[in-house]
């Protein structure tokens, strides 16, 4: 069960209201790498985890992330406190209020729709979605996902620190950023204390495809590195020779019943695009006066009209 | 620029149509760990990557993932080939067709809406969203995200292999699963060949908070492990003593201008919920005959009516 | 700050695994009226609330809802425990596992994608979205929204109780359902202890439109009730006479500058659909052999072909 | 069946084009409390309502809300009329047009993507979603939801009025705002004319939990009010003593079959994180030159490099 | 299988960084008519297409659209190149960086969250969703959808060209725009070479309803054109006379079993809103001091208070 | 303004309740080609249309589509009428109700969450989104989009007719399907009565790229048809020779300022992945006992353990 103490984990001291900055900080409230995403990621994993150590760790960190959600949300609330009251009480002339809520970011929506409260959106106003939570119920995946998520959350905090000069906000963001570093370390320890954690799952993979590197993008810029050369890699450069890699015909086939085959043929006949036809089309009809079949000239034909000609010049 | 050869990277041989299985396989076509997510993850990273080696690798793997999207999509198309034609041609009685499209999973939607074509949804019919793509433009984050994503994709393929007994599909899924293992290895190499990759970004973190472990979930089940004990960790068990960790007052404050403060007070006065009142409420009015203020008895009062009483028994 | 005790607020005793039932219960985990929605609704309101009593109440209830999220999630985890291990260890033949994960609801996705962990989706697999949270930063709105949300959550629990015969689950659902009743009562008290809570906000509304009832849906079934008749209502039955209600011309107009007007006219001229033309169209061309302009006969013309005729009969 | 008269319910007179204001007004066109949400809320309820009086009322109000959607959409269309034509006809230099479409809010998207037409998005460009519609098919819930929705719509109109100084727009918004007040009154009447409307549904709730108030958030700021004290409330302050409230063990358990238990154990063994290990981790390897296990010094170790040191100072 | 050459299909030369313009161009990267939508539309159709000619064409064009995704994404990456490095390296004072990332559009999110990489969002930051892809598995629908999509993509490019004065970007956009024209022509040819392509599908439609034009919107502004008059149309002006068009009772009915009927009646009785009552409501209670039942005066009653009176004046 | 008559445009006679069929029919209520999508498409276009004829037509058809939304919603309500009452009144044993709400499709969610009312979701329970509406404010695009949308809606109705044997439902669906045919015809007339409707917009396109067909997908299956051969097409088969088509270097470049260049270089140096390193990685560490660097044998190494070996066999 959760309990709450009204004191924040970290004191929030904001120098002055600034709804535009508030809207940027929402990235860590309701954004994809924000604190709700973090808390829900670990909480959902913790609920179904059977390993006692990991379960404890996941619930510890989930609970702390909820407390961070509270810290970042409190900063946002403070930054919006002025505009919230002004809009609510109609304390200024319309034109002034219009400017106050339009100061940057998506602060206009934060004021008009959310009344200055911290909304579970990112900095563009996109509502938080559980599609951000990638818990899969396997610890060797989930811990890797958590490690990655912490590293992402760290960098977003760093970017926010880089654009903020309010010292109290900077302090709190520095704390929050550092906690992501600590959490990443915990998840790393938990991952590497699983003896066989690579590859994830139980099936080992097929030997012949596990060390193949497919050089699918070629041309100037082709490069070598430990990710595609060395004793553990077989690099495939001549892709079309290995097409398909299994030596089959490279086609997709399915065995249909007789009835299915017959129905399929009926459908194919009914719906065929006759390659030998050269039909007039809707585009032909719509291509302007004098156009029958579109030709190279027709495309430029519109350019005979003065204004469009100028347009065309702009392009060429 | 992309080019395409109509041969698949891996030959697809499906034993017989099965739209319900098709709808499960969509998890790797349009699901969060599916091949489109993989391709777009690496492609968007590759476009803005400045390191020539990583750029090449990202485009290589993005291109291969598009080819995997083609393989899994081709399996889905084959599994749906029967029902697609039958529905299109109305080749069976209505009741038969109704059963054919309702065989399990979300195959009903795949047939009715998508006409049996592979749709960019997951196995519940949820449309693919770029919210699945967590590219952040920093390689020490993005490579960790890619590592995690590959481990997740691997486990989803393993689960699909575990539930499929069509040998041709099993073969192709085994190939696709193994390629995720190989890709994870490449991304690991690329990550660890960045000299300082932890923590991500440039700011080092605040020393005093980087090694703190907050034991926020307590009680029976509290556990120790390398993630929270050992020389590198300071574990905080008595949380309320460290509340807030910065030694401040743990409150959220903002400095308002005089005008803002006055407006805020006006708002607070207008909107206060008077703690000394005990108002009758809408719930009081709606709580049934004889109810004024709701009391313990009132809640049970509804139970005087015969049927509701039986209901209440079911619960108690 | 949040803290957590590993004991649940209510003991969860599940008789046996049942992933299909689990997927239905997700409605209250990650559905629109589920516990995450409730917790986030009150938490976001609490963070920006300035009234001390309401702030305390909102944080109390938000915290309890998180604890309910834990209870319902734990039930889901228990119900999925069997299939999670079986799929992870490939403990059964493929065909058996296929059936096990396809038992009903959207349990297939819960098993394949989420590995049996409680996922933040509703019972159709739709990921939770903050679009469910309707906090607006005004207490007379927010408390009404909370009252409504609690009444909705109550009814969903009631429906789940009605379809569940596992006594341990029924018990826990009964507890959770009742707590929604208690929360609704608290929110009602808080609303009605605001002296002037109707209408919400500060602007009183325009007298002449506040008591008008527009009988916009007419014909058989037109009915009277306290919502549209009585001394406080002026019912408008003859709508077109009052069109527009302000006595103006009922048009939408804007004053454009000269330059804008000229540009607008140029656009209108370029893009007009000539009402005096009767052009041949793409549909005309595609309507089959012999069709020029489509006429009543043309539509039926397809019916000359044997099979389509039968089709048409099915319809007529 | 619906019919339409081209006259608006309220005349729209816009002083001059202003695409930025248009984008703010979209909140009531395609936002969560906008007119489409209102219309669809009542329309979906009306379709399945069996009570003749409520059905009539729901269809009356749904129809009027569609007419309001038309009014607000017409204002938006007028405000965008200039930029629509200018962009369509390329009537200005590129740099001028760039500024014209970038005047504030999300007007850039409204111009580029929607061509100046009213789009079903909110003021941040988020597309309308039926997730906003909370019809549940029970009148004691749905009417409460409608009451809350009307109060929210009212406040959004009030906020828009507060930031607009175009008198014609202000007039129309005042009309629309007032109609929400009238609709709320109708829904209140309909709710309270259901004799037993609290709690919603048929099950009465469990007496012992219906009057309990869980003081889950404690510390400075704890407050009393009619929502948690008085004869009808039992307040639980010492939460851990009541954990769990049912007097059980507070654990989540499920009875597994023998086979399931064995599989579960196999999985647990395979996937355990060994608490007695202290593995080197990926983070250890990535923590820069000289780092083995991360210690307190290591975190600061990066600070030896000049620039990062300055960074760290910024934070401390 | 896909292959990739690192050379772009069209050379990208950007004059200088401009993150605000970058965020506008995202409309064609991750917007609804952007290149990913185009590529996925044709790719999903191609995978399940059985007609060899169309399959080839769909894969040709899908592959080219992926190459266009690369071109537009590369422009975005170039435009963001400055801000990406500056934010990553904290190369400027906080206040300068704040301005740099807030230059317009939704560039703030592109910088903070996506690190300057091209993100799969539209110009308002809305993540790409497969809901944009309307492949239905029937060529006479899908080709029409493709034709429409190409015409939309063309116009968005035209609008972007109209607001851009960077000649290198203008060039590339001109190329991309023109390719949409070419693709539309291909799809038109493919559609019209299906002999019977209208109406889509196999069922011919019911003769009596296929030529009926329902004049559902009446009043000033009613107009005639080839879409509603001429020999092929029967226009229905007097709608209520034809209500319902089938000559039935215009009601919705279902045959219920006896048990269902009885249950339905029980529900109706329990939940009826008594039309003969005139209950006091929550709104009545909240309407301020002195209010009992709301009357016309009560609404204005609030106006007795000085400030609200002024408010009301603003409205009237 | 809209008005409503309670009679439906087409009489709905349902033989018996069937919630599973109801959930399939939702495709045309809240699905992407459903009636809400149609109504909103035309309504949003109509509001900003300046051509009087088209405006009238768009409002006529939008209004009729709302009436169709009512018809299809009424069918759904009838099909759900039994289960709605049974669940509401708990009229059956739990196990029976469980089966009743689990009869197929996504009827479980329709019953539990939406209470049997018609919900604005598709047949998989995905909430309707305005992302389905592709109005762009240019008639030559919008009319093409409308034509395509009508053809899609027609085919979905045809598929539903093909799986339904309730004669009353079949009748109503036949009517609705036919109206889509009629609407398509109107939109075709309106499109082709715009004199120059191809290409959409004002810019004519660049002559040299308008007739080029890029044969981007090659290999067995390459085909010819009117869409890529004939006098109006220049087909590019040797793609790499034309790479890039503009004869440039095919690179993406941007001119950075000196300061930007310097910052970019600092970032590149800090973040480079050293191609000459061959670092041990997290995967190496996690690959099980004895593994150092992963080699071909390591991948198979796991196969030494009995069970995994058997697994591997399953795959090979």
Closest partner residue to C178 among D60, D148, D209, by Cβ?
Answer: D209
pLDDT at A301 over 80: no
Determine contact: E31 vs chain B, CB below 8 A: no
Confidence of residue F302 (pLDDT cuts 50, 70, 90): very low
Task: Give residue-wise pLDDT tens across range B175-228.
Answer: 999 999 999 999 999 999 999 999 999 999 999 999 999 999 999 999 999 999
Contact at CB, E218 and D6, closer than 8 angstroms: yes
Identity of the residue in E204, E207, E277 whose CB atom sits nearest the CB atom of C311: E204
Give pLDDT tens digits for D3-46: 999 999 999 999 999 999 999 999 999 999 999 999 999 999 99
Q: Is the pLDDT of residue F25 over 50?
A: yes
Cβ atoms within 10 Å, residue B251: 15
At D274, is the pLDDT very low, low, confident or very high (cuts 50, 70, 90)? very high
- In angstroms, the separation between the Cα of residue F217 and the nearest Cα of chain B is 4
Put simply, whether C120 touches D (Cβ < 8 Å) is no
CA distance D19 to chain E (A): 14
Strand, coil or helix: F215: coil
Closest in C123, C159, C273 to F190, CB measured = C273
Does the beta carbon of A166 lie under 8 angstroms from any beta carbon of chain D? no
Q: Which residues contact B247 (CB under 8 A, 6 or more apart)?
A: none
Closest partner residue to F295 among A195, A226, A232, by Cβ? Answer: A232
Say which range, C7-11, C301-305, D215-219, has the weakest mean pLDDT: C301-305
Closest CA to A232 of B144, F302, F292, D282: F292
Contacting D residues, span 124-163, partner chain C, CB-CB under 8 Å: 129, 131-132, 134, 136, 138, 140-141, 144-145, 147-149, 151-152, 154-156, 158, 161
pLDDT score for C286:
85
Q: Do A31 and E113 touch (CB under 8 A)?
A: yes
| C195 to E289: CB separation less than 8 angstroms, yes or no | yes
Q: Do B218 and C3 touch (CB under 8 A)?
A: yes
Residues of chain C with Cβ-Cβ distance to F159 below 8 Å are none
Chain F residue nearest residue E5, CA to CA: F240
Q: How far is A43 from chain D (nearest CA, A)?
A: 15
B265-316 residue pLDDT tens? 999 999 999 999 999 999 988 886 533 333 333 333 333 334 444 554 555 4
* C25-74 pLDDT tens trace: 999 999 999 999 999 999 999 999 999 999 999 999 999 999 999 999 99
Q: Which chains pack against A, by 3+ Cβ pairs within 8 A?
A: B, C, D, E, F
Model pTM score: 0.94
> Interface partners of B (3+ CB pairs, < 8 Å)?
A, C, D, E, F
B residues 274..313 contacting A (CB < 8 A): none
From the list D226, D301, D312, which residue is nearest B278 (CB)? D226
Contact between C207 and E308 using a beta-carbon 8 Å cutoff: no
Q: What is the 3-state secondary structure (H, E, C) of chain D?
A: CEEEECCCCCCEEECCCCHHHHHHHCHHHHCCCCHHHHHHHHHHHHHHCCCHHHHHHHHHHHHHHHHHHHHHHHHHHHHCHHHHHHHHHCCCCHHHHHHHHCCCCCHHHHHHCCCCCCCCECCCCCECEHHHCCCCCCHHHHHHHHHHHHHHHHHHHHHHHHHCCCHHHHHHHHHHHHHHHHHHHHHHHHHHCECECCCCCCCCCCHHHHCEEECCEECCCCCCCCCCCCCCCEEECCHHHHCCCCCCCCCEEECCCHHHHHHHHHHHHHHCECCCCCCCCHHHHHECCCCCCCCHHHHHHHHHCHHHHHHHHHHC
Q: Give A273's contacts in chain E (Cβ within 8 Å).
A: 51, 53-54, 139, 190-191, 193-194
Computed over every residue of chain F, the mean pLDDT equals 91
Cβ <8 Å between D124 and A109: yes
pLDDT at position B308 is 45
DSSP string of chain E?
Answer: -EEEESS-SS-EEESS--HHHHHHHTHHHHSTTSHHHHHHHHHHHHHH---HHHHHHHHHHHHHHHHHHHHHHHHHHHHTHHHHHHHHHT-S-HHHHHHHHTSSTTHHHHHHTTTTSPPSB-TT-PBPBGGG----S-HHHHHHHHHHHHHHHHHHHHHHHHH---HHHHHHHHHHHHHHHHHHHHHHHHHHTBSB-SSSSS----HHHHSEEE--EESTT----TTT-STT-EEE--GGGGSSTTSS---EEE---HHHHHHHHHHHHHH-B-TT-----HHHHHB-TT-SS--HHHHHHGGGSHHHHHHHHHH-
Query: CB–CB of B94 and F124 under 8 A?
Result: no
Res C245 pLDDT > 70? yes
Tell which residue, D221, E282, D236, has the closest CA to residue C193: E282
Q: How far apart are CA B218 and CA A59, in angstroms?
A: 9
Contact F170 C90 (CB under 8 A): no
* Mean pLDDT value of segment A239-246: 93
Structure tokens at A115: 């009344």
Residues of chain C with pLDDT > 70, as a percent, come to 91
Please determine, for residue F296, whether its predicted confidence score (pLDDT) is greater than 80.
no
C-alpha distance from residue B265 to each of A22, A78, C193, C203 (Å): 22, 15, 18, 18
Task: Report pLDDT digits (tens) over A225-242.
Answer: 999 999 889 999 999 998
Query: CB distance from C91 to chain F under 8 Å?
Result: no
Chains that touch F (3 or more CB pairs under 8 A): A, B, C, D, E
User: What's the mean pLDDT when you consider all of chain B?
Assistant: 91
Burial D114-140 (b: 16+ CB within 10 A, else e): bbbbbbbbbbbbbbbbbbbbbbbbbbb
Range in B9-13, C92-96, E164-168, E304-308 with the lowest mean pLDDT: E304-308
pLDDT at C295: 36
In chain A, the residue whose alpha carbon lies closest to the alpha carbon of D274 is A193
Pairing of strands F252-254, F217-218: unpaired
* pLDDT tens for each residue of C141-157: 999 999 999 999 999 99
Q: Could E24 and D112 be called an inter-chain contact, meaning their C-beta atoms sit closer than 8 Å?
A: yes
Does any CB of chain A come closer than 8 Å to the CB of residue F203? yes
Question: A66–C137: do the CB atoms touch at under 8 Å?
Answer: no
What ipTM does the predicted assembly reach?
A: 0.92
Q: How confident is the model at residue E300 (pLDDT cuts 50, 70, 90)?
A: very low
- Pick the more confident residue, F304 or E188: E188
Nearest to F29 by CA among F178, F112, F141, F132: F132
Spatial CA neighbour of C193 closest among C53, C75, C41, C88: C53
CA nearest to F311 within chain C: C90
Which string of b and e fits B20-50 if b means at least 16 CB within 10 Å? bbbbbbbbbbbbbbbbbbbbbbbbbbbbbbb
pLDDT (0 to 100) of residue D295: 36
Q: Pick F207's closest partner by Cβ from A194, A232, A300.
A: A300
Q: Give the nearest chain A residue to B254 (CA atoms).
A: A14
How many Å lie between the alpha carbon of D259 and the closest alpha carbon of chain E?
Answer: 41
Nearest by CB to residue B165, choosing from C95, C106, C140, is C95
Residues 6+ away with beta carbon under 8 Å from E63: B2, B3, B4, E2, E39, F216, F217
Q: How would residue C285 be classed by pLDDT, with cut points 50, 70 and 90?
A: confident
Q: What is the pLDDT of residue F292?
A: 34
Q: What is the pLDDT of residue B310?
A: 53
Task: Find the helix packing angle between F81-89 and C139-163, rounded to 10°.
Answer: 90
Picking from E10, E243, E251, the nearest residue to F9 by CB comes out as: E243
pLDDT at C301 over 80: no
List chain E residues with CB under 8 Å of F152: 134, 136, 141, 144-145, 200
Q: pLDDT of E114-138, one tens digit each? A: 999 999 999 999 999 999 999 999 9
Residues of C in contact with E198 (CB under 8 A): 282-283, 285-288
First to last CA, chain C: 68
CB proximity E207 to D under 8 Å: no
Looking at residues B9-15, what average pLDDT do you find? 98
Residues of F in contact with D280 (CB under 8 A): 285
């Amino acid at each position: 069960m959760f309990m709450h103490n009204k004191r924040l984990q970290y004191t929030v001291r904001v120098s002055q209201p600034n709804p535009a900055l508030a809207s940027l900080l929402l990235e860590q409230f309701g954004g994809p790498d924000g604190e709700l995403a973090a808390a829900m990621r670990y909480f959902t994993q913790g609920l179904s985890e059977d390993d006692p150590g990991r379960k404890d760790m996941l619930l510890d960190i989930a609970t702390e992330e909820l407390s961070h959600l509270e810290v970042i949300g409190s900063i946002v609330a403070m930054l919006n406190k002025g505009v919230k009251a002004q809009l609510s009480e109609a304390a200024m002339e319309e034109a002034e209020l219009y400017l106050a809520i339009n100061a940057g970011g998506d602060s206009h929506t934060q004021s008009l729709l959310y009344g200055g409260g911290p909304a579970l959106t990112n900095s563009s106003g996109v509502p938080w979605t559980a599609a951000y939570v990638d818990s899969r119920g396997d610890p060797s995946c989930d811990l890797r996902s958590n490690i990655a998520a912490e590293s992402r959350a760290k960098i977003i905090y760093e970017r926010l620190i880089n654009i903020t000069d309010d010292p109290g906000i900077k302090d709190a963001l520095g704390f929050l950023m550092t906690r992501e570093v600590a959490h990443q370390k915990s998840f790393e320890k938990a991952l590497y204390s699983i003896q066989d954690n690579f590859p994830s799952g139980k099936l080992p993979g097929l030997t012949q495809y596990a060390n193949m590197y497919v050089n699918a993008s070629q041309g100037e810029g082709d490069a070598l590195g430990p990710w595609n050369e060395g004793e553990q890699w077989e690099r495939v450069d001549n892709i079309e020779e290995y097409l398909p890699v299994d030596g089959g015909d490279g086609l997709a086939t399915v065995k249909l019943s007789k009835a299915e085959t017959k129905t399929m043929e009926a459908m194919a006949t009914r719906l065929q695009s006759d390659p030998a036809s050269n039909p007039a089309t809707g585009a032909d009809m719509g291509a302007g006066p004098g156009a029958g079949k579109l030709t190279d000239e027709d495309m430029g034909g519109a350019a005979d009209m003065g204004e469009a000609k100028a347009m065309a010049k702009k392009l060429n």
